[in-house]
Structure 1
Amino acid sequence: MNPLLSSRRRLLGAAALLGLHPLMAGAQSGAWPQRPLKLVVPGPPGAGSDIFARLLAVNLQEALGQPVVVDNRAGANGLIGNEAVARAAADGYTLLLSPSSAIAINPVIQPRMPYDARKDLQPVAQVGSAGVLLVANPATGLRSLADLVRAVRAQPDRIVYGSWGSGSTGHLVMEGIKAEYGLVMPHVPYKGVSPLVADLLANTIGVGFVDIASPVPHIRAGKLVALGCTGSARGPALPEVPTLTEQGYRFDVDGWYGVFVPAGTSPAVVQRLNREINRILATPEVVQKFAAQNMPRPPLKSAEEFSATVWRDMDSWQALARTARLRVE
């Protein structure tokens, strides 16, 4: 073959590739998303994370131009759903909406985690800051944290409390309360919020920590009594319910709901998701819907700011776990 012709062909080929490369790169960067997205919720239908995920999914679908399907994967205090996302392809099509307990608390108290949240998950956006509610069946006669402390001290072991899972936020907070006030209260861990609320309504169990959203209708109907909430501020749907801090309990770390993707997901996809989610959360309609579910106005953090919140909270929960000498049951 003529060396000059061969060289010319190589140069033409290289030029063609160089010419096509920006177009290909542009297509790749603009191609996402080209198919439906899955939003994994590590809780059952009706739980707080599920309620907020469905509100977010409807609006995110409109923003991205692709269906966003909510996939409930409940169990093991969020480990099942969170691990599924941690092991998923980092292609931007599998998202996670998780409560803080499943991300920040599990690594503190689980002796053998099936994944490493710091290495396997990428924080995207904080959907909201939210505490948990301490509620009781009206038949107990309890109306405040002080009532609970007096009742338990008078008859240790008589009052049993429930949480939506071993290692959940409610479990950890109640163990901290027990440690601070010297209380003896057996713990019954449920597999999710829904069965816990059902047993609280039936007075099968007298007291429990639940998420901020699912019990609101029952509290308004007088079927449950809210004794207090964690967090730095009262919930917008239940402004009459004081925080536990107002009632003298010293530990205060806000819980949160957040969106995550598998580690290694394109930074461009992470930033696009953060931008779209924050835009959705800032709309008056969504703010109003979240407030109706007792969710305070979202903080609208960048992905980097949310990451800092997640890892900082791990340290705070670890301190509480040490104080309460907590272990998974």
Structure 2
Amino acid sequence: MTNRSITRRLALLSSLVLASLGATAPAQAQSDNWPNRPIRLVVPSAAGAGGDIFARLIATPLSEILKQPVVVDGKPGANGMIASDMVAKAAGDGYTLLFAPSSAILINPVINSKMPYDPEKDLIPIAQVGAAGILLVANPKTGFKNLNDMIAYAKANPGKLAYASWGTGSSGHLAMEGIKAKYGLDMAHVPYKSIPQEVTDLIGNNVPVGFTDIASPIPHIREGRLNALGTTGSQRWPATQDVPRLTEQGYKFDADGWYGIFAPKGTPQAIIDRLATEINRIQRSDAVRPKIEAQNMIVPPARTAAQFAESIKADAVIWQGLAKTTDLKDK
């Protein structure tokens, strides 16, 4: 090989190395300088709903750690698709994040043939926040004390009992459609845009029974405005230890729900990893852990962002299998 050939090859190699460094430099500079302005945490919940409450439990200490405001931005509706779509299409710069329930991530792709985004490709998992089930509640005027009371009435009165959930494709929708299928019940679904609206109508007996998140109805249950009939999930939850699980009452539903924090695709890995570390630390702190448990959830095992992504894949097999079994649609 001539000296000229060697020189040309060295020059080509150098240009390739420099091009590679040039491509990674902006991302590195972006993550090194992050954050230098407020961060928006988009939540598919109305103010006062469980998702909003939990998001603020994380956002406040995270603001202090990052020394930038973490602003909770509620965008309820469509079982989280409005909020998720907004974040999925945002810039991957670490300044727009999503705080979403598991149903928004796992069930929406099964029941919506034309999703405006791909949760698996467009959203990067960062950290799980909390773990719990959901609550089956009824207006006291129904006289229902447990799941079997509701089933007995629905069987004796086909088509006369409607039920509420916080949206088509929600885990509440999924759970009740499973109950209907198992026991042969005729009950219309009344989907709400937000859980506070749903709870208000349950208290007013505008709809007699429904599934809600694990936290929102607790004060109303304690004050006798709603009856707790049962919970889903793998265990009894901190604030509802006296409420039997649906599994204990004959309808097996052991899958746990959770909230998760996600970033748009393209977000630098250094930002993802830092957020995962800080969010896991915040949940386990003496200041925040009791507040999570007071909202009737438990703190999940600490996981890296990659481990959280793997757990989502495992949960998807369970939740999507249930959705397909019940032929979950807008019922």
Q: Could you state the TM-score of these two structures normalised by the residue count of structure 1?
A: 0.90
User: In structure 2, what residue type is equivalent to 1:142?
Assistant: F
The alignment yields a C-alpha RMSD, in angstroms, of 2.0
Alpha-carbon spacing, 1:193–1:28, altered in 2? closer, same or farther (3 Å): closer
CA distance in 2, matches of 1:238, 1:316: 24
SS at match of 1:209: strand
Alpha-carbon spacing, 1:25–1:326, altered in 2? closer, same or farther (3 Å): closer
Partner of 2:321: 319
Alpha-carbon spacing, 1:23–1:160, altered in 2? closer, same or farther (3 Å): closer
185, 188, 202: which one pairs with 2:187? 185
2:199 equivalent to 1:194 = no
Alpha-carbon spacing, 1:139–1:172, altered in 2? closer, same or farther (3 Å): same
User: In structure 1, what residue type is equivalent to 2:118?
Assistant: D
- CA displacement 1:171-230 (0-9 Å, x = unmatched): 011001111111111111111101110000001111000001111100111110110111
User: In structure 2, what residue type is equivalent to 1:288?
Assistant: P
1:138 is displaced (CA, Å) by 0.7
- Whether the aligned pair in 1 keeps the contact of 2:110 and 2:324 (CA below 8 Å) is no
Partner of 2:220: 218
Partner of 1:37: 39
User: What is the count of residue pairs matched by the alignment?
Assistant: 312
Partner of 2:127: 125
Partner of 1:97: 99
Partner of 2:309: 307
CA distance in 2, matches of 1:108, 1:230: 21
CA distance in 2, matches of 1:113, 1:150: 38
Partner of 1:229: 231
SS at match of 2:239: coil
User: In structure 2, what residue type is equivalent to 1:77?
Assistant: N
- Whether the aligned pair in 1 keeps the contact of 2:233 and 2:245 (CA below 8 Å) is yes
Partner of 1:167: 169
CA distance in 1, matches of 2:207, 2:156: 18
CA distance in 2, matches of 1:272, 1:135: 39
1:298 is displaced (CA, Å) by 2.8
- Whether the aligned pair in 2 keeps the contact of 1:129 and 1:299 (CA below 8 Å) is no
2:265 equivalent to 1:254 = no
Q: Could you state the TM-score of these two structures normalised by the residue count of structure 2?
A: 0.90
88, 102, 115: which one pairs with 1:113? 115
Unpaired segments of 5 or more residues in structure 2? 1-14
CA distance in 1, matches of 2:68, 2:117: 29
175, 178, 194: which one pairs with 1:176? 178
- Whether the aligned pair in 2 keeps the contact of 1:124 and 1:303 (CA below 8 Å) is yes
1:312 is displaced (CA, Å) by 2.2
1:28 is displaced (CA, Å) by 4.5
SS at match of 1:328: coil
CA distance in 2, matches of 1:267, 1:291: 30
Alpha-carbon spacing, 1:151–1:266, altered in 2? closer, same or farther (3 Å): same
User: In structure 2, what residue type is equivalent to 1:178?
Assistant: K
CA distance in 2, matches of 1:136, 1:28: 51
User: In structure 2, what residue type is equivalent to 1:299?
Assistant: P
Alpha-carbon spacing, 1:57–1:158, altered in 2? closer, same or farther (3 Å): same
1:251 is displaced (CA, Å) by 3.1
CA distance in 2, matches of 1:64, 1:322: 42
Trace 1:8-157 onto structure 2 (pairs within 5 A): 28-157=30-159
Of 167-176 and 299-308, deviating more is 299-308
1:245 is displaced (CA, Å) by 1.2
